[in-house]
Amino acid sequence: MPKISERGIKMPASPIRKLVPLANAAKARGVKVYHLNIGQPDLPTPQVALEALKHIDRSILEYSPSEGIMSYRRKLVDYYAKFNIVVGVEDIIVTTGGSEAVLFSFMACLDPGDEIIVPEPAYANYMAFAISAGAVIKTIPSSIEEGFALPSVEKFEELITDRTKGILICNPNNPTGYLYTRKEMNQIRDLVKKYNLFLFSDEVYREFCYTGAPYISAFHLAGIEENVILIDSVSKRYSECGIRIGSLVTKNKAVKQSVMKFCQARLSPPLIGQIIAEASLDASDEYMLDTYNEYVERRKFLVDGLNRIPGCYSPIPMGAFYTVARLPVDDAEKFCEWCLDSFDFEGQTVMMAPASGFYTSPDLGRDEVRIAYVLNKKDLQTALMVLGKALEAYPGRTIK
**Rounded distance between C-alpha atoms, residue 157 and residue 188, angstroms:** 11
Give pLDDT tens digits for 306-355. Answer: 999 999 999 999 999 999 999 999 999 999 999 999 999 999 999 999 99
Q: Tell me which CATH code domain 58-280 carries.
A: 3.40.640.10
pLDDT of residue 400: 64
pLDDT of residue 96: 98
Kindly report the pTM of this predicted structure: 0.95
pLDDT of residue 18: 80
Q: Tell me which CATH code domain 6-44+286-393 carries.
A: 3.90.1150.10
Helix (H) or strand (E) holding 257: helix 253-265
Give pLDDT tens digits for 222-242. Answer: 999 999 999 999 999 999 999
Q: At what angle do helices 285-308 and 377-393 cross, to 10 degrees?
A: 20
197-207 in b/e burial notation, b at 16+ Cβ within 10 A?
bbbbbbbbbbb
Give pLDDT tens digits for 356-387. Answer: 999 998 889 999 999 999 999 999 999 999 99
pLDDT of residue 276: 98
Q: Are 335 and 266 in contact (CB under 8 A)?
A: no
The more confident residue out of 131 and 400 is 131
- Average confidence score pLDDT of the chain: 96
Residue 214's pLDDT band (cuts 50, 70, 90): confident
Nearest Cα to 328, choosing from 309, 352, 341? Answer: 309
pLDDT of residue 361: 84
pLDDT of residue 391: 98
Nearest Cα to 92, choosing from 277, 201, 261, 249? Answer: 249
The runs of H, that is alpha helices, within 150-205 are 153-159, 182-195
CATH topology agreement for domains 6-44+286-393 and 58-280? no
The more confident residue out of 305 and 5 is 305
**Rounded distance between C-alpha atoms, residue 53 and residue 277, angstroms:** 10
Q: At what angle do helices 332-341 and 377-393 cross, to 10 degrees?
A: 100
- Residue ranges of domains in the chain: 6-44+286-393, 58-280
Nearest Cα to 273, choosing from 128, 16, 68, 15? Answer: 68
Kindly tell me if the per-residue pLDDT of 75 is higher than 80: yes
Q: Percent of the chain, pLDDT > 70? A: 100
Give pLDDT tens digits for 122-178. Answer: 998 999 999 999 999 999 999 999 999 999 999 999 999 999 999 999 999 999 999
Q: Are 357 and 34 in contact (CB under 8 A)?
A: no
Q: What are phi and psi of 303, to 5 degrees?
A: -65, -40
Q: Are 308 and 395 in contact (CB under 8 A)?
A: no
Q: Are 69 and 272 in contact (CB under 8 A)?
A: no
Give pLDDT tens digits for 37-71. Answer: 998 899 999 999 999 999 999 999 999 999 999 99
Residues in the chain: 400
pLDDT of residue 247: 98
Q: What angle do CA 73, 200, 228 make, to 5 degrees?
A: 65
Give pLDDT tens digits for 79-110. Answer: 999 999 999 999 999 999 999 999 999 999 99
50-82 in b/e burial notation, b at 16+ Cβ within 10 A?
eebeeeeeeeeeeebbbbbbeebbebbbebbee
pLDDT of residue 208: 97
